[in-house]
Chains A and B, each alone.
Chain A
Amino acid sequence: MSWLTDPLAYDFVLRALAEVVVMGATCGAIGAYVIVRRLAFIGDAISHAVFPGIVLAYLAGASILGGALVAGLLTAFGIALVARGGRIREDAAIGIFFAAAFALGVVLISTRRTFQGDLTGFLIGNLQGVAASDIAVSAAVGAVILLALAALHKELVLVSFDRTLAAALGYPVFRLDALLLALLTVTIVVSIQAVGIILVLAMLVTPAATARLLVDRFVPMLALGAVIGSLVGVVGYYVSFYAETASGGTIVLLATAVFLVAFVASPTHGLLGRRLRRHPPHAGAAPAHDRPEGHEHGR
């Protein structure tokens, strides 16, 4: 078992492991909303849009976390505002902001060649360089996010599942959406240091999607996503430690491998499971009447 315990002798390993556990759990949990609300693309946009914020904060000597947060929130709300008019669909609005923000980051970085070394850390992440204060920030943010998700659980699920009912009942639908996007942005910003801009999306989507294949209820999905996120973080870090590969990339590849196993072998939703239960007995209703009849009306 010394292969398991030996690396723990190093402080930087302990810090990296603490960071991936916290980051994996936070991303895996909020990832449940990314999956059911189909926020993967907007998450991608936010994770790229923080890039110019990081560069600007770096140039100005300000807090990098703060710069990333401001840029991420501005992008999230820019997208929401442009898409709200209805003329431009959300996916187009996302594409525009996402490319523009990233391009701004690239242009800014090209003006000062000397920064490239430091800033590439944010593209691919730098788990080895995590400081104790980073872990404290990640843990605090993760706790706030989980607390918010727990406190507003009913309302967030309602708004995610049935916006019409939520609006009809008088819930502040737009504000709940904005809150969810803000929580997502904060998660992305604090996770970037560990796995990098490009890979943070995978931690938001892959563990939660894996959980969705294994359970059919929202809260178990959220909890399982958090567990999977932490586990692949720890195991992936060990693999990268011994294989001497980039830790962020290794973690994401492991998460993808776990997803693929679930995709094939999940007892309920996997390819194999579905083959076994090709003709499930449906209690109650006659299937011939099940198909929606209204689609082709009034052509």
Chain B
Amino acid sequence: MSAERGLALQDVHAGYGAGPVLEGVSIAIPPGTLVGVIGPNGSGKSTLLKAILGLAPEVSGTITLDGRPIGTQRDRVAYVPQREAVDWSFPVTAEQVVMMGRFPRIGWLRMPGVDDRAAVRDALDRVAMADLRHRQIGGLSGGQQQRVFLARALVQEASVLLLDEPMTGVDQTTEQLVVNLLRELRDTGTTILHATHDLESAADVSDLLCFVNGRVVAFGPPAETFTPPILHATFGGELLIVHEGDHTHVHGGGHHHGPDDGPRAG
């Protein structure tokens, strides 16, 4: 079991001191899989990502990547933070943020080399941000900022990519670009977990869904798990589920509150 390729969590409990936020998580994700992590606020989505990153203060259980403890594989895990966690006034340019992803490769006391610069340029091209690479990050739109952080994850050339609410506050162009890029990475063998509020787009783009609410409520392909009983078990009364032919539309309680934020049809 532990020699299997991919990301495996075995009986993982994680929290911040005041009791575990997440209990008894046991899931195995093969390489080249795009996983949507969904659940209500405070359900432990971010905690799950933090546990994999090795950043949850209290973690028990085992997390392995290709059979090896995740703690020894840190340079193989990349991460795109939640937008609110970033100091946008920090005096760095888009290009400099992307370069940070190369720092572990560059090493202490060394300057970025030719191949590091090439990797950064290439990543900025892939997220269509090459033209704005000298812009201070606070001068970019929400979507552009998200693409910069995605480019930073790209230059890490990681095996596991974790994204916390990547579609929050981004424009349609960016959303499409991110989805395409995630699929591309998935097809080249990257394991991707993205935490999201947007249930329908998660169901559309993901190979597997992980429903979280203090524990893993369900884990499997959208066709098997994106069902009213599982949605109810995860979200309780917070959801309005509408059946329309063979389509199930889901409206999160309070999740859609802007005029430009209507339900996304598949």
Contact = CB atoms under 8 A, between A and B. Distances in A.
B91 A221 contact: yes
Most buried by B among A169, A283, A293, A294: A293
A275 interface: no
B136 A217 contact: yes
Given A151-B109, A161-B87, A285-B142, A216 B136 contact: yes
A155 B87 CA distance: 17
Contact of A290 (B79, B132, B141, B165): B141
Contact of A217 (B93, B173, B255): B93
Nearest to A32: B91
Contacts of B74: 168-170
Interface in A250-299: 282-299
B262 interface: no
Contacts of B231: none
A36 B79 contact: no
How big is chain B's contact interface, by range?
35 or more
Interface string B80-122: 0111111100111100110010011010110000000000000
B238 interface: yes
Given A286-B171, A292-B169, A164 B79 contact: yes
B260 A218 contact: no
A215 B91 contact: yes
Contact of A287 (B84, B136, B141, B165): B141
A288 B41 contact: no
Given A36-B90, A169-B74, A285-B143, A298 B41 contact: yes
Contact of A154 (B53, B106, B257): B106
A155 B165 CA distance: 26
Contacts of B104: 169-170
The 5 closest A-B pairs by CB, nearest first: A298-B41, A216-B136, A292-B169, A285-B141, A285-B171
Interface of A: 36, 86, 151-152, 154-155, 157-158, 160-162, 164-165, 167-170, 212, 215-218, 221, 282-299
